[in-house]
Amino acid sequence: MSDQKAVGRPRSAEVDEKLKRAALKLVRERGYRDVSISALIAEAGVSRQSLYNRWHSKADLVLEALTDDTEGLVQLPDPARAGSAQAALRDFLHGIFRHLALDGTTLRSLIAAAQEDPAFREALRTRFVEPREEIVTALLARAQSAGELPAGRDIRMLSAFIHGAFWYRLLNGLPLDEDTARDIAAAIFAP
Amino acid sequence: MSDQKAVGRPRSAEVDEKLKRAALKLVRERGYRDVSISALIAEAGVSRQSLYNRWHSKADLVLEALTDDTEGLVQLPDPARAGSAQAALRDFLHGIFRHLALDGTTLRSLIAAAQEDPAFREALRTRFVEPREEIVTALLARAQSAGELPAGRDIRMLSAFIHGAFWYRLLNGLPLDEDTARDIAAAIFAP
């Protein structure tokens, strides 16, 4: 890598980072709806153009900020460590639900924004939703191979049940807590 | 009932009906977001006040119009007629999914509107969501009593799985069709 490239790249990456940090900070403080593009660029200390160079909209920026921030949660849990696939699913869900105390309202707003904007709906689904669904599907597939789930069970549909129950409770304003995580995992693995 | 009451009541009920019919017609034609209160009262041929006498907002009016219009779908299916509880669930879901070809976009918009308005979220949940959930829960409870579902299964959670999978696919822009109805019912009743 040449010196020039080493100097050039971090410059733009730094601006992106500033915008993503500003986005998370402001949506957490004020709520997604009440954060304007002007407030975002003022908080980040960058130009409006540098936001639009990289993202189409506020929704796009907030989606990337949230996706990056929850990267650590998107890891296949280890059933051996948790004790069983059921316990691993419970712990995985509980980790996500704990994080929703911070960003659940933002996620609700992004899902709402996606309903009025087909391009953003596609972005939300492919960049955020599907990678998370894949984690759970992989966990269930492994559990099925290990005989913890009957061979005939439809793993893809069970994964949709799990994420569906999570969205359904989130969007209806119902609590998502440790009990919910335990009950979802128990219902999936019920004999 | 006195004559006076018989004359007085239909007057206001007629105005309400006109507004609900106008609401369904316009949201189907233009999309929820692009229907204004002015357009609604013009289409119904009534005063702005008569709308606000009865409903808080466009969301409230559209919710009631949609709730009334789908009343016929909210009936406990008869497993004896369908052949089994699994077939009854499949037919019930397929009936709902068929109707979504007409009003799925409106339902998506109402769920989106609910995310930014706690009072409307509560209204959507108690008036629309929960009565539909109860139908499915009752079907599953009956299936459990009849031995078509193992005794240990968590009926309430299974009902949340079913509605959750439906919302999850709807809000992510994925198809909801006869195959989806069949696959959901099969996964719920899988041994």
The parent domain of residue B53 ranges over 3-57
Q: Helices B37-44 and B58-69, interaxial angle, to 10°?
A: 50
Together in a domain, B37 and B130: no
Q: Which helix (H) or strand (E) holds A170?
A: helix A155-171
The answer on pLDDT for B40 being more than 80 is yes
The answer on pLDDT for A4 being more than 80 is no
How high is the pLDDT of residue A108?
A: 96
* All residues at 6 or more sequence positions from B189 whose CB lies less than 8 Å from its CB, including other chains: B85, B86, B89, B143, B148, B149
Q: What is the dihedral of CA B34, B35, B39, B41, to 10 degrees?
A: -170
Six-digit token string for A160: 């949709």
Out of A124-128, A181-185, B68-72, least confident range: B68-72
- Tell me whether residue B63 is in a domain: no
Q: Helices A85-115 and A178-189, interaxial angle, to 10°?
A: 110
- CA–CA dist B30, A12 (Å, integer): 41
User: Does B190 sit within 8 Å of A154, measured CB to CB?
Assistant: yes
How many domains does chain B contain in total?
Answer: 2
Optimal mutation site among A100, A157, A158, A179, interface B, most CBs of chain B within 10 A: A157
Nearest one of A58, A139, A134, A159 to A91, comparing CA atoms: A139
- Tell me whether residue A65 is in a domain: no
Q: Find out whether B55 and B61 touch, Cβ atoms under 8 Å.
A: yes
Number of Cβ within a 10 Å radius of residue A101: 10
Which CATH number belongs to the domain containing residue B27 in this structure? 1.10.10.60
- Tell me whether residue A63 is in a domain: no
Nearest one of B162, B55, B170, B54 to B112, comparing CA atoms: B170
B154 → chain A, closest CA residue: A187
Together in a domain, B22 and B75: no
Q: Residue B79 — very low, low, confident or very high, per pLDDT cuts 50/70/90? A: confident
Nearest one of B142, B131, B123 to B96, comparing CA atoms: B131
Q: What percent of chain B has pLDDT over 90?
A: 83
Together in a domain, B84 and B8: no
How high is the pLDDT of residue B80?
A: 83
User: Does A116 sit within 8 Å of B115, measured CB to CB?
Assistant: no
Mean pLDDT estimate for chain A? 91
- CA–CA dist A59, A124 (Å, integer): 9
Chain A positions with Cβ closer than 8 Å to B: 33, 108-109, 111-116, 118, 121-122, 124-125, 129, 150, 152-154, 157-158, 160-169, 171-173, 183-184, 186-187, 190-191
The answer on pLDDT for B2 being more than 50 is no
- Tell me whether residue B151 is in a domain: yes
User: Does A121 sit within 8 Å of B173, measured CB to CB?
Assistant: yes
User: Does B116 sit within 8 Å of A113, measured CB to CB?
Assistant: no
How high is the pLDDT of residue B46?
A: 95
A166 → chain B, closest CA residue: B164
- CA–CA dist A162, A154 (Å, integer): 13
How high is the pLDDT of residue A16?
A: 94
Mean pLDDT estimate for chain B? 91
User: Does A173 sit within 8 Å of B168, measured CB to CB?
Assistant: no
- Tell me whether residue B173 is in a domain: yes
Six-digit token string for A113: 């924004």
B185 → chain A, closest CA residue: A157
- Tell me whether residue B81 is in a domain: yes
* All residues at 6 or more sequence positions from B26 whose CB lies less than 8 Å from its CB, including other chains: B35, B39, B40, B43
Together in a domain, B14 and B92: no
Give the number of A-B residue pairs with CB atoms closer than 8 Å.
112
For B20-38, how does the pLDDT look when each residue is reduced to its tens digit (9 = 90+)?
999 999 999 999 999 999 9
Out of A5-14, A54-63, B23-32, B51-60, least confident range: A5-14
Q: Where does a domain end: B29, B57, B85? A: B57
Q: What percent of chain A has pLDDT over 70?
A: 94
Chain B positions with Cβ closer than 8 Å to A: 33, 108-109, 111-116, 118, 121-122, 124-125, 129, 150, 152-154, 157-158, 160-169, 171-173, 183-184, 186-187, 190-191
User: Does A122 sit within 8 Å of B173, measured CB to CB?
Assistant: yes
∠ CA B169-B170-B174 to the nearest 5 degrees? 55
A189 → chain B, closest CA residue: B153
A105 → chain B, closest CA residue: B115
Together in a domain, B168 and B99: yes
User: Does A172 sit within 8 Å of B125, measured CB to CB?
Assistant: yes
For A9-56, how does the pLDDT look when each residue is reduced to its tens digit (9 = 90+)?
456 889 999 999 999 999 999 999 999 999 999 999 999 999 999 999
Together in a domain, A81 and A122: yes
Which CATH number belongs to the domain containing residue A109 in this structure? 1.10.357.10
Together in a domain, A79 and A10: no
- CA–CA dist A45, B160 (Å, integer): 45
Q: What does each C-alpha distance from B40 to A137, A154, B22, B35, B103 come to in angstroms?
A: 45, 45, 6, 7, 17
Optimal mutation site among B171, B188, B189, interface A, most CBs of chain A within 10 A: B171
Amino acid occupying residue A62: V
How high is the pLDDT of residue B1?
A: 41
- Tell me whether residue A166 is in a domain: yes
Together in a domain, B91 and B135: yes
Out of A81-85, A156-160, B120-124, least confident range: A81-85
Q: Write the residue in B109, B111, B190 that is nearest to A171 by C-beta.
A: B111
- Set of chain A residues whose Cβ sits within 8 Å of the Cβ of B157: 165, 183-184, 186-187
- Tell me whether residue A126 is in a domain: yes
Six-digit token string for A150: 């009957």
Together in a domain, A45 and A102: no
For B113-145, how does the pLDDT look when each residue is reduced to its tens digit (9 = 90+)?
999 999 999 999 999 999 999 999 999 999 999
Together in a domain, B43 and B125: no
Calculate mean pLDDT across residues B14-22. Answer: 95
Collapse the DSSP code of B72 into the 3-class scheme (helix H, G, I; strand E, B; otherwise coil) and give the result.
helix
Q: Find out whether A161 and B187 touch, Cβ atoms under 8 Å.
A: yes
Q: Residue B12 — very low, low, confident or very high, per pLDDT cuts 50/70/90? A: confident
DSSP string of B24-35, one letter each residue: HHHHHHH-GGG-
Classify residue B2 as left (phi > 0), alpha (psi -120 to 50) or beta. beta
Together in a domain, B36 and B128: no
Collapse the DSSP code of B166 into the 3-class scheme (helix H, G, I; strand E, B; otherwise coil) and give the result.
helix
Together in a domain, B25 and B81: no
The answer on pLDDT for B11 being more than 80 is no
